[in-house]
Structure 1
Amino acid sequence: MEIITGYTGKPHVTAEQDRDVNEGIFDTGSFVLKTGSQLAAELVSNNEIKIRDGVLVIQGCTAVIKKNTYDPVTIANGSQGMKRIDLIVARYNKNEETKIEEVTLKVIQGTPNASTAAVPTYKTGDIQSGDLVADMPLYKVTLDGLNVTSVDKMFTVIPTLPELSSNLVKTAVYMNNGAYNIAQSNSEFQGTDFSKKILDNIGLVHNYDSTNYKHTFTVPQDGIYLIHAYMNFQQGVTKQLSLYAKLERNNVEQSRQSKLIGPYNGADFMFLNEINAGDKIRFTVLQSSGSVIQVSGGCRLNIIRMGK
């Protein structure tokens, strides 16, 4: 075993080792990092495109166009009445004799065609296996006659670690503290008790207004939320009845569902809504059985944040 990030008294870190570490972080593909202008393309003329500053990773090998600068690339003249597709690639090249490595921008010119132009081939290569050339496609340049009609991005910009973390699926599970009754009502939705936290890596804040018997949850982060509520009836329901459920956000109804239930021991409802940070959500129910329904201590509110 050899140390990489440590002092050994002599130069010892190799490009191959650095690429191995990068592949462990970014995977073995090729990407642009979210820094600078992210290698944005600017069409200057039918013969020139500027590639702005940014950092790319091509199979673990990093390369940069310095901040606040650009690299120009030259597009060969088109032909009247012909179509053509060129590729702008970042090319890794290793000199077999000197072992010197470089990454430069290259234009791979396509073949003109009167009707349909084909994308030219490029060398994928495998740097870690010793290939001397490996291309990373950056832009597809389409020419119609003498004019460049489009410059289309072909690479992926990978998100930062905080962005990845913010888009992870997160869950919360709450239950009711004990049995309670859902009174018969023809019009008024009633609050439900989901105040017992079982699991929460979303960071919801449970609020309880004891005067109005309102249980709400404050959402800490924007996102798409899947909200699943399961109502467990302590003694079951012996006849068919309609049970209604409503999701409120900041005291405004967002969605309503109804179910014809019985004879069952429970019922579940599911809502999918976009919710913003700071919003308060509330789940309420209404039943019209003509009698009280007792809810057991086995009710659950499952909330899943599915990303932005």
Structure 2
Amino acid sequence: MTVELITGFAGTPHISSDEIGAFQAGLVGPGDYALATGDSLKATMSNANTIAVQSGDAVLNGRHVHLAGTTTATVQSGTQGQKRNDIAVLRYSKNTTTGVETCQLVVIKGTPTTGTPADPAHNTGSILSGVATHDMPLYRIPLNGITVGTLVPLFNVLKPMKDVWDSLTHLLLKIVPGFYVGSSNDNGVCVINYDSPNGKPPSAVLVSIGPWGSDSAKGMSAMVWEAASDHAQVRLMNTRTGDFGGKWPTQFSWVAIWS
């Protein structure tokens, strides 16, 4: 079947994890993200050999993973005189024989060195491409000798759509649309008026010329010549000759935007 209704009753179980994973990846993105739920996967070292990741949710290439409470994993002790970077990951695994998929918290041990330690390699292939193992890095665990340093988050927390909407609405103070019908003055200037929400000029004034009421006015273009806190000057140009100026009949729509 090449076309399938996923969120529809089919009379028998028919929805796969691949289908839901693809849908969720299309919504949140194809990468790895923590969600702003629970404790957002915050972590601490409960002792020198145990990392404790708190509750939350993650999306790994579209696969949703839920941590209901604190989840722990073991960190091997460091070596005196050497440094090491381990990384804690959420590891997705698929049994290629049975098709069973699982996820667990795993610590990948780095290579000890007397110089600057590097993070160990992890599985980066995408579940969306059919890989059987994928790692979502959560934290770098730096070790200096036997001392564990401060955990370094390696993931992004995806904000809810409400927060994104609120941030966008705060960017826009006001949008004022209008329509001008008349003639320009001797300099080819038309004046439009508006009320500023903050006493300042708008961030942008956009003009769309037309529709025209007479053939003589065709071939004109309009540009914003000057924008003040209560008005803007729109200047017309004859696109055939490149000339400004003249009392030309005109119609145009405009919008002033304050951000």
Q: TM-score, normalised by structure 1?
A: 0.60
From 197, 201, 213, the equivalent of 1:217 is 197
Indicate how the Cα distance of structure 1 residues 298 and 65 shifts in structure 2: closer, same or farther if over 3 A, else same. same
Check the 8 A contact 2:225/2:232 in 1, yes or no: no
What code does the residue aligned with 1:109 have? K
Residue of structure 1 in register with 2:183 after alignment = none
Structure 2: distance between partners of 1:301 and 1:25 = 32
Structure 1, residues 30-73: CA drift from partner, whole Å, max 9, x if none? 1011111010012212111110000100001111101xx21011
Looking at secondary structure, tell me which structure has more strand per residue: 1
Which residue of the partner structure matches residue 187 of structure 1? none
- Mapped partners of 1:19, 1:96: distance in 2: 17
Count residues with an aligned counterpart. 208
Residues 86 and 119 in structure 2, CA contact (< 8 A), matched pair in contact too:
yes
Query: Does the 8 A contact of 2:75 with 2:107 survive in 1?
Result: yes
Partners of 1:125 and 1:133 within 8 A in 2 = yes
Alignment match, 1:102 = 102
The residue that corresponds to 1:54 in the other structure is 56
Q: String of CA shifts for 1:260-302, please: whole Å, max 9, x gaps.
A: xxxxx96457xxxxxxxxxxxxx48xxxxxxxxxx88759994
| 8 Å Cα contact 1:31-1:157 kept in structure 2 | yes
SS in 1 for 2:158: coil
CA–CA distance in 2 between the matches of 1:129 and 1:154?
23
Higher helix share: 2
TM-score after normalising by structure 2: 0.70
Moved more, 3-12 or 33-42: 3-12
Map of 1:172 onto structure 2: 175
The 1-side partners of 2:20 and 2:177 are apart by 46
1:128-277 to 2 correspondences below 5 Å: 128-168=128-168, 170=172, 172-173=175-176, 194-195=194-195, 217=197, 227-228=202-203, 267-268=226-227
Structure 1 unaligned segments of length 5 or more: list them: 178-192, 196-215, 220-224, 231-264, 270-282, 285-294
Contact 1:50 1:72 (C-alpha < 8 Å) held by counterparts: yes
Contact 1:86 1:107 in 2 (8 A): yes
Q: Cα deviation per residue 1:99-125 (whole Å; 9 max; x = unaligned)?
A: 111011111000000121111110111
Alignment root-mean-square deviation, CA: 3.1
Shift of 1:82: 0.7
State the 1:228 CA deviation. 3.8
Is 2:33 the partner of 1:31?
yes
Identical columns (%): 30
Task: Give ranges in structure 2 of 5+ residues lacking alignment.
Answer: 181-192, 206-223, 236-253
Deviation at 1:78, TM superposition (A): 0.7
The amino acid across from 2:110 in the alignment is: G
Name the CA distance, whole Å, in 2 between partners of 1:105 and 1:75.
Answer: 12
Native 8 Å contact 1:227 1:301 kept in 2: no
SS in 1 for 2:165: helix
Once residues 50 and 73 of structure 2 are traced to their aligned partners in structure 1, the CA distance between those partners, rounded to angstroms, is 6
SS at the partner of 1:150?
coil
CA contact (8 A) 1:194 1:301 kept: no
Q: Deviations over 1:146-203 (max 9, x none)?
A: 111120101111111111222335462467x9xxxxxxxxxxxxxxx623xxxxxxxx
Corresponding residue for residue 78 of structure 1? 78
Note the alpha carbon deviations across 1:116-150, whole angstroms, 9 max, x for none: 11111101112122211011111111111111112
